[in-house]
Amino acid sequence: MDEITLTIDGQEVRVRKGTSLLEAARGAGIYIPALCHHPDLKPTGSCKLCIVEVEGWDTYPTSCTTPAEEGMVVRTKTEELQEMRRHAMEMILALTNHPTTCLFCERKDECTDLRECMRKLPITVGCKYCPKDGECEIQEAVEYVGLKQVRYSTAYPNLPLLREPFFDRNYNLCILCGRCVRTCEEVRGEGVISYKVDYHRQHRVEPISLASSDCKFCGACVDACPTGALYARFEKWGKPENTLTTTCPFCGVGCQMEVGVLDNQIVRVRGKRGDTPNNGQLCVKGRFGLDFATSPDRLKTPLIRKEGGLFPASWEEALNLVAEKFSQYRGDGFALLSSAKCTNEENYLAQKFGRLVMETNNIDHCARLCHASTISALSAAFGSGAMTNSIGELKEANCLFVIGSNTTEQHPVIALKPKEAKKKGAKLIVANPREIELCRIADLWLRHKPGTDVALVLGMCQVIIEENLLDEDFIRERCEEFEEFKDSLSDFSLEEASRITGVEASLIREAARLYAQHRPSSIVYAMGITQHSHGTDNILSLANLSLLTGNVGRPSTGINPLRGQNNVQGACDMGALPDFLPGYQRVQEAHLRNKFEDAWGKKLPDGPGLTVVEMFEAIHEGKIKAMYIIGENPYLSDPDSNHVTEALKKLDFLVVQDIFPSETASLAHVILPAASSLEKEGTFTNTERRIQRVRKVLEPVGESQPDWEIICQLAQKMGQKEGFSYSSPSEIMDEISKLTPIYRGISYERLDGAGLQWPCPDASHPGTPYLHKDKFTRGKGKFHVVRYRPSLELPDKEYPFLLTTGRLLFHFHTGTMTRRVGDLNYLRGEELVEINPQDAQSLGVEDGELVEVSSRRGKVRAKARVTERSPQGVIFMTFHFAETPTNVLTNPALDPVAKIPELKVCAVKLNKVGG
């Protein structure tokens, strides 16, 4: 039996076996003070405040460390317990010299004149100055136990306030409970602060900024602190008068956050606990990066280009102009870029506008640059192009194979799962040319050459077949074309894989054994795999690997592409793609297209449209004349960006709809100011296919409007009254669910809790945590014959280095949002070109010196960072910084199937500037 029954303070309580007495009591609404306890941490019982009486026991156990047992009779608030707690509390306060004015001053509530206090004590002590006043766990505990004074003399430590990026550390208020230290270690796996090193109490001697440590500024320690010792600065503005749950506007993890607002300012952000993708955790961007929404740079009115620049205009004037101009370009002379930053409802309307009003399938968005190859490959192998399993399942895997994903920087909250799995004994294989943080805890790090993933994975498949580590039953019953795949490996040896990848054959063999023998095994990948001219092949080879070993269709297995932007999954689901209507229904298939034609009342274009990179080519060829770009910044994000910029300049008419005047917007004829996702209602779909609510926590800035409202007004001005008149995003979702089988069971009423994972085929369906359970979406799992093909532009005499690109923890995408957050900029304010020390030495480049990186397409100057993280011959840069637009260098060569460009590999040369 999993449940037990006990009695607490006379109340019968049923809990799961293994629940502590403290959790059992709190679950039943019974408060027991516990200052060292936190639900995310292993209990220690060190503060002693949570002692209880258990009938028949002759000791007073600490309830946080004592498991509940069947039939126990527990008392939590006897006079004896309270007396002991008062002693314990008094000791905690005395020994840590915690100020007591906030606890015992009788005049506290009516006090308006703080001068008296301030004469005696520094202002950081006065009760009204402690940001935690009224919410402090010490105050709550002191009141509960009835402590009226501390009898021992204490000396106010008078330590300096330590100002970190985003939060302050005031160790005058620290009670040494250890929650911050343990959270950093146990929950975040960082171990940045400790009692032993300089970053904690030793600051009394020599303050050292966390900015010079490995701190990730996730804020988990701040949230765990029971006192005002660690406190987010923006939260000092006041207590929220309204708190709503919404979805993080940054990456595809889809963390749920509780956002508190006072006077239309965000004054509190917490990760939502419970059944959410993040269970209370956030990363630095979600926890501290929402300031972008109130940046003075926000677009506040429409702008129209007139002679001499862009000038403010009324909505009426701007929309009339756009409607009139767009009417002249209906058909394939028009292209639309929708946005992975916009909601599902807005993406649905954007593609509906493109197809129905503008009569073209030239619709795409940034998924083309990140996961187009995922859709093409996983659809071919399994029948569905999304993450097969759920984020939470990763921690239960016995083996995780993380390839081409710098998870700790790009999906920081998902990165907590491999760390958790490792603690439970799972094996971790990391394949990455760069030394990423996960390499430090990996059982095996395969440092293959960039662009050789297919050879690496084929080598692993070869070993699995040769050593008979395959799941023959699974292959026989659930797969097809295995023999063809097996035969194709006859002319590919492990030695060949080793030669191509640069990884020792024995390590590839070991990786294959770990993956095949520690089931369930799960594959995690990101753009290190997808952004290649052979991106589709990379993913097909991973699909082969999972099919070979039966590691798909079960919990904690599968292939898990980590989606980059907050709603890139949703934008794909909604059909912001040139070849798919919502729900991956092909535009070419008449019966699917007819369904939409019937619903929307008009014939739709029937051939696939152009993809992002093809659109810019078509502008150069004079085929596309007008463009509508919603929330994208191709000026910085697309490969060979000089070529893109030239294309944008050639357009007859360019409309950019965004929240900031992006680099792309600077070329527009009309700019339409959009509301941010904090200022509107809707839904996002995260990387694990979970549709979650986005809620309006702030009023829109200036005259900005939600994208869905702008699109509707524009369509109506263009004569399309039908189908663009909605009272709310919920009504749009109702239309989406009618036309999209995988979303059929979705409605706002059902999304209030943890959201729902598609496919959700009807209103009573609970959603699908993992795909392909008994049957693949396409029927059988299909093996594909895949051959290694080198990247299309490799280093040569003229351009001897290989450039690979990626992202950083502290910034997001093209930086339009995160570059406007002061402390994120403080933590990283410029591009640094990573170069291996041996390469640096041969070029005579020192760390911090200015270098020029050039490719066949352009050049960029930035400072060098000399680091072993980059292997010899490989240079790493990001694309966050407009001042140093890395994508002028990258190669627009496309994967022939997915049309994703080869952003991860191109040839460059590097020179010291002035050298």
CB of 226 or CB of 240, closer to ligand SF4: 226
Alpha-carbon distance of 861 to 843, in angstroms, equals 15
User: At a CB cut-off of 8 Å and minimum separation 6, what does 163 contact?
Assistant: none
Q: Which residues pair with 861 in a beta bridge?
A: 852
The least CB distance from residue 171 to ligand SF4, in Å, is: 7
DSSP 8-state secondary structure symbol assigned to residue 356? I
The SS3 assignment for 355 reads helix
Cβ 455 to ligand SF4, closest distance in Å?
A: 32
At closest approach, how far in Å is the CB of 340 from ligand SF4? 13
* CB closer to ligand SF4 out of 171 and 801: 171
* Alpha carbon distance 247, 685 (integer Å): 10
Helix (H) or strand (E) holding 3: strand 3-8
Residue 132 or 352: the one with the smaller Cβ distance to ligand SF4 is 132
Comparison of 175 and 381: residue with beta carbon closer to ligand SF4: 175
Give me the least distance between CB of 137 and ligand SF4, in Å please. 9
In degrees, rounded to 5, the angle at the alpha carbon of residue 283 between the alpha carbons of residues 277 and 284 is 155
Least Å from the CB of residue 738 to ligand SF4: 29
Cβ closer to ligand SF4: 188 or 427?
188
Query: In the complex with ligand SF4, which residue's Cβ is closer, 135 or 472?
Result: 135
**93/253 with CB nearer ligand SF4:** 253
Residue whose token pair is 């799972």: 426
Q: How far is the CB of 385 from ligand SF4 (least distance, A)?
A: 21
Cβ closer to ligand SF4: 326 or 684? 684
Min separation Cβ 656 and ligand SF4, Å:
24
Structure tokens at 533: 């001219």
Is the CB of 160 or the CB of 915 nearer to ligand SF4? 160
Tell me how far apart the alpha carbons of residues 682 and 696 are, in angstroms, rounded to a whole number: 9
Burial label for 29, CB within 10 Å (0-12, 13-18, 19+), is exposed
To ligand SF4, the closest distance from the beta carbon of 93 in angstroms equals 12
Handedness of CA 683, 742, 380, 541 (dihedral sign): positive
Least spacing, CB of residue 607 vs ligand SF4, in Å: 37
For 131, 814, 883, the CA distances from 51, given in Å and listed in that order, are 29, 53, 59
List 196's β-bridge partners, or say none.
Answer: none
> Measured from the CB atom, is 145 or 414 closer to ligand SF4?
414
State which amino acid sits at residue 268. R
660 DSSP assignment = S
Q: Are 471 and 805 in contact (CB under 8 A)?
A: no
Altogether, the residues listed in the chain come to a count of: 915
State the minimum distance, in angstroms, from the CB of residue 294 to ligand SF4.
18
Give the whole-angstrom CA distance, residue 718 versus residue 311: 23
Q: Residue with structure tokens 């799960």? A: 522
Identify which of residues 32 and 36 has a Cβ nearer to ligand SF4 in the complex.
36
User: Following CA atoms 816, 818, 824, 826 in sequence, which dihedral angle do they give, to the nearest 10 degrees?
Assistant: 10
First to last CA, the chain: 75
Cβ closer to ligand SF4: 280 or 433? 280
Smaller CB distance to ligand SF4: residue 215 or 900? 215
Separation of alpha carbons 908 and 856, rounded Å: 8
Cα 346 to Cα 251, 265, 622, 699: the distances in Å are: 18, 25, 29, 18
Residue 321 neighbours by CB distance under 10 Å: 19
- Comparing every residue's Cβ against ligand SF4, the nearest one is 286
Q: Output 177 or 803, the one with its CB closest to ligand SF4.
A: 177
Question: Shortest approach of ligand SF4 to residue 542 CB, angstroms?
Answer: 23
Provide the CA 282 distance to its chain's centre, in angstroms: 9
The three-state secondary structure class of 350 is helix
Within 8 A by CB and 6+ apart from 107, the residues are none
Query: How, if at all, do strands 11-16 and 53-54 pair?
Result: unpaired
d(CA 239, CA 242): 9
> Around Cβ 309, how many Cβ atoms within 10 Å?
9
- Backbone Cα Rg of the chain: 29
Output the smallest distance, CB 494 to ligand SF4, in A: 37
Give the residues lining the site for ligand SF4 (CB under 6 A). Answer: 174-180, 183-184, 188, 190, 192-193, 210, 215-221, 224-227, 229-230, 248, 250-251, 253-255, 278, 282-283, 285-286, 411-413
Contact assessment for residue 429 and residue 459, using Cβ atoms and an 8 Å cutoff: no
Smallest gap from residue 845 Cβ to ligand SF4 (A): 31
Amino acid at site 36:
C
Q: Which is nearer to ligand SF4, 93 or 832 (CB)?
A: 93
Residue 95 belongs to what H/E stretch? helix 79-95
Kindly tell me which of 89 and 230 has the beta carbon lying closer to ligand SF4: 230
Q: How far is the CB of 392 from ligand SF4 (least distance, A)?
A: 14
What tokens were used for 518? 């520690």
Asked if 640 and 892 touch (Cβ cutoff 8 Å), the reply is yes
To ligand SF4, the closest distance from the beta carbon of 40 in angstroms equals 11
Shortest distance (Å) from residue 277 CB to ligand SF4: 8
